[in-house]
Amino acid sequence: MPGLQTKTYGTGDYSWMLNTDGLDEAISGVLDVSSFTAATHYPDGYFPCGLPVNIADRSAVVPWSDTAAAEGDPDPVLAFLKGDFKTDGSEDVDAAFILRGNVKTAKVPLSGFAAPTTVPQPRFTFWS
C-alpha cells in the first residue's frame, strides 16, 4: 500500500537504572510537548525511556532543570520517563513516570545530565 510507513520504538531502554527499584511505583501525567525541544528531547519521534522531567505539575510535565523555583512556584520534582512515548511534536502526551530509584547518570538519555545539586532529590540515588 503506498504511503504506509513503519516506525519502531519500544518499551524502553532501562540501562540507566542500576536495578528495578522504583519501577513498580510509577505515576501518570501529561508531557507538555511545547516545552520540549525536538532535537534534544525526542530526536527520533519519541520521548526515550529515562528522560528526566519535572513533574511538579503532573498536568503539564516539563523538561528537568536543576534550578530553584521562582518565588511562589512549586519546587521542581525530578522523575524519569517509564518507557518510550511517541510524539508528533505538537499534541501533549500521556506518560508514566518513575519517582524513585537508583540512577546511572552516564546512561540517562539526555546529554549532560548530572545529579541535581541546586534542588536535592532525596528519592533518587545517583551512580556514575
Residues 1-36 have pLDDT tens digits of 566 665 555 679 999 999 999 999 999 999 999 999
For residue 11, the SS3 value is coil
Q: How much is the average pLDDT of 47-60?
A: 97
Tell me how many degrees the CA angle 35-70-41 measures, rounded to the nearest 5: 20
What is the reported pTM? 0.91
- Whether 95 and 47 have beta carbons less than 8 Å apart is answered as yes
What beta strand segments (E) does the chain contain? 27-31, 46-47, 52-54, 62-63, 78-81, 85-86, 93-98, 101-104, 124-127
Q: Quote the DSSP letter at residue 61.
A: B
Q: Give the model confidence (pLDDT) of 68-124 as tens digits.
A: 888 998 899 999 999 999 999 999 999 999 999 999 999 999 999 999 999 889 999
